[in-house]
Amino acid sequence: MGFRDWLCSDERVKLRLCEAENRRLAERLAELTECYTRCLAERSQYAADCFRDKWYLSDRVSELSGILARSIQVPDIKSYVGDPVIYDPWGDPPPIVDHVVADNNYYCYPYESWVGILAPIQAEVKKTLKRWQSEVSDCDDFALVMAGLVAVAFRNVGGVKQGAFFVAWSSTHAYNVFRDASGDWWIFEPQNGAVIGKLALFTEKPYDTRKLWALGERKR
């Protein structure tokens, strides 16, 4: 006589219901396990993509920095880099979800100091690239060269950290963004040296910022 034979009809009904519930829970567990495994894989891929971007972009800035240092006069920014505010992008991430940072901390300065730092550097960038030209000196070249020269300028004054100066991309344009000592983020146009305005106020083209790269020179 089997186990079920010892049960009354009500108990057999309860047993069937319990078995059905166990099967449902097992299927749900398998579904959740599959979902969790897929999420882990996607997270790992995202991390790998992020690190690949970071090292590629850091190498690119280092390469540009070396070329610039050998080919043009890097402005002396010593008079503008007093006591900086230290910015931790890991504890206080940039306002754009898609961002890449290469270092642990960055220097921030008052807005007026940033203007003084960037003006002579942009003049050298303009002297080097001269004018917009498709593929060879277009917006991304201006933004990358500007970031590279800013990195060299900070290194030349003995800074142990880079300035909080970003390469930025929108849906149609490349430019720069910097963070000041008050925590405000400003859009900087490297092609003409203009501070366009606060990052948070621009949601339409060409300054609808989608990605930020806080780079500096890669430490080897």
The per-residue pLDDT for range 175-215, each reduced to its tens digit, is 999 999 999 999 999 999 999 999 988 888 899 999 998 86
Q: Which of 43-57, 105-119, 121-135 has the lowest mean pLDDT?
A: 43-57
- Average confidence (pLDDT) over 84-110: 89
> β-strands 162-163, 165-169: how paired?
unpaired
What 3-state DSSP class applies to 38?
Answer: helix
Please tell me what DSSP assigns to residue 180.
B
Angle between helices 9-71 and 139-156 (to 10 degrees): 70
pLDDT bin (cut points 50, 70, 90) of residue 27 is confident
Alpha helices in the chain (DSSP H): 9-71, 111-129, 139-156
Structural domain including 11 reads 3-47
Is 102 within a domain? yes
What is the reported pLDDT for 220? Answer: 36
What is the reported pLDDT for 17? Answer: 77
Is 220 within a domain? no
Q: Which residue's structure tokens are 């303009």?
A: 126
Do 111 and 179 fall within a single domain?
A: yes
pLDDT bin (cut points 50, 70, 90) of residue 174 is very high
- Average confidence (pLDDT) over 34-50: 72
Which CATH number covers residue 125? 3.30.460.70
What is the reported pLDDT for 196? Answer: 94
- pTM value? 0.66
